Amino acid sequence: MPDPNPGAHALRIVIVGHVDHGKSTLVGRLLHDTGSLPEGKFEQIQAVCQRRGMQFEWAFLLDALQSERDQNITIDVSQIWFRSQSRSYVIVDAPGHKEFLKNMVTGAASASAALLLIAANEGIQEQSKRHAYLLSMLGVDHVIVLINKMDLVGYSESVFNKVEQEYREFLEKLEIRPVRFIPISARDGSNLVEPVPDLLPWYNGPTLLRALDRFPAPNPESDGPLRLAVQDVYRFDERRIIAGRIESGRPHCLLAEHQNL
């Protein structure tokens, strides 16, 4: 839902993780539970599912391309304006499948923070590690790790602790220090907006929404790490000219050259 006054200070958050670990489901459910969906969108998708004889999926709220619904994967990068009671966001839902890794980088290149999803029933997968590595290269250091699909493991504290310990050790090698790990069930909406002490009596941390609101305000883009989204590479003899758009940071060499003119 477009923010009524998006401004330049909305926090851009990319959501990444292994395919089928629940990224699009998370965003669809979060928007629904906070009343942020466009009017009639939920009913529209429900009607489409009924006509096709399909079970309703929260991911369908975002996976707008017909090919994505047929394949049940996110291909494009969806960007959604979202607002909590205290701040504005742009949520970037990036594809998790390895064939669309470039799309994921495109989405993450403009983000100031990230949500990394891991399914509790499957644990750490190939893309869980690869996406974390790319986030470290892009300089995205405000990271929350969400252990999703806790409903499939009976909201087990031991399963949560095992995944957290293994992934935290991996992230430390990349010098990523997550703000926190949060157990959730995106499908059921557990621990997204409201706490569920009956299901998670052992968890004393914030819900996802409250944790997002605690992120620091985004810095000006010029103060961030240099991120150049490469759009094409041109070849002239042995030379290579890289064309793209600067998402954040300053191209110091170009600034220095300009100042010497």
Residue 236: per-residue pLDDT: 78
Second-level CATH architecture of 11-218: 3-Layer(aba) Sandwich (3.40)
Residue 204: per-residue pLDDT: 94
Q: What is the torsional sign of CA 2, 97, 146, 108? A: negative
Q: What is the pLDDT along the chain (261 residues), one digit of tens a residue?
A: 444 444 446 788 888 888 788 887 888 888 888 887 777 778 888 888 888 888 777 777 765 433 444 444 443 445 677 778 888 888 775 554 444 445 555 555 566 788 899 999 999 988 888 878 888 777 777 889 999 999 999 999 999 999 999 999 999 998 888 999 999 999 999 999 999 999 999 999 999 999 998 887 766 554 556 666 666 788 878 888 877 766 666 665 544 444 443
By 3-state DSSP, what share of the chain in percent is helix, strand and coil, each rounded to 5? 35, 25, 40
Residue 4: per-residue pLDDT: 45
**Continuous H helices in the chain:** 23-33, 41-52, 66-71, 101-109, 126-138, 157-173, 208-213, 252-259
Listed by start position, the domains of the chain span 11-218, 227-259
Residue 76: per-residue pLDDT: 42
Position of tokens 């190939």? 126
Residue 240: per-residue pLDDT: 80
Q: Check if the beta carbon of residue 241 is closer than 8 Å to that of residue 230.
A: no
CA 140-99-102 angle, 5° bins: 35
